[in-house]
Amino acid sequence: MIWLIGNKGMLGTEVETLLKNRGMEYVATDLEADITDMERLREFAADRPISWIVNCSAYTAVDRAEEEPEKAFRINADGPRNIADLAKAKNAKLIHISTDYVFDGLKEGDYAEADPPNPVSVYGMSKHRGEINIAEIYHRYFIIRTAWLYGKHGPNFVATMLRLFAERKEVRVVGDQFGSPTYAPDLAAAVLAIILSGSDSFGIYHFSNEGRISWFDFAREIYRIAMEKGLVTREVALVEITTKDYLTKASRPKNACLSKEKIRSTFNIPVRTWQEALDEYLEMGSWKWGQIFKLDI
Ligand SMILES: NC(=O)c1ccc[n+]([C@@H]2O[C@H](COP(=O)([O-])OP(=O)(O)OC[C@H]3O[C@@H](n4cnc5c(N)ncnc54)[C@H](OP(=O)(O)O)[C@@H]3O)[C@@H](O)[C@H]2O)c1
> What domains are defined for the chain?
2-155+181-211+257-272 (3.40.50.720)
- Nearest-angstrom CA–CA distance, 160 and 202: 36
Catalytic-role residue among 26, 111, 123, 141: 123
pLDDT of residue 15: 98
CA distances from 247 to 62, 63, 250 (A): 13, 11, 9
The angle subtended at Cα 241 by Cα 235 and Cα 242, nearest 5°, is 160
Smallest CA-to-CA distance from 292 within 226, 200, 194 is with 226
User: Model-level pTM?
Assistant: 0.96
- Nearest-angstrom CA–CA distance, 116 and 30: 31
Is the CB of 119 within 6 Å of ligand 1?
Answer: no
Q: What is the average per-residue pLDDT within 189-216? A: 97
Catalytic, 123? Answer yes
108-167 pLDDT tens trace = 999 999 999 999 999 999 999 999 999 999 999 999 999 999 999 999 999 999 999 999
Ligand 1 centroid to residue 146 C-alpha, Å: 12
Ligand 1 centroid to residue 63 C-alpha, Å: 14
Q: Give, using CA atoms, the residue closest to atom 5 of ligand 1.
A: 147
- Nearest-angstrom CA–CA distance, 219 and 171: 9
- Nearest-angstrom CA–CA distance, 103 and 116: 7
Q: Give, using CA atoms, the residue closest to atom 15 of ligand 1.
A: 10
297 band by pLDDT with thresholds 50, 70 and 90: very low
pLDDT of residue 296: 37
78 band by pLDDT with thresholds 50, 70 and 90: very high
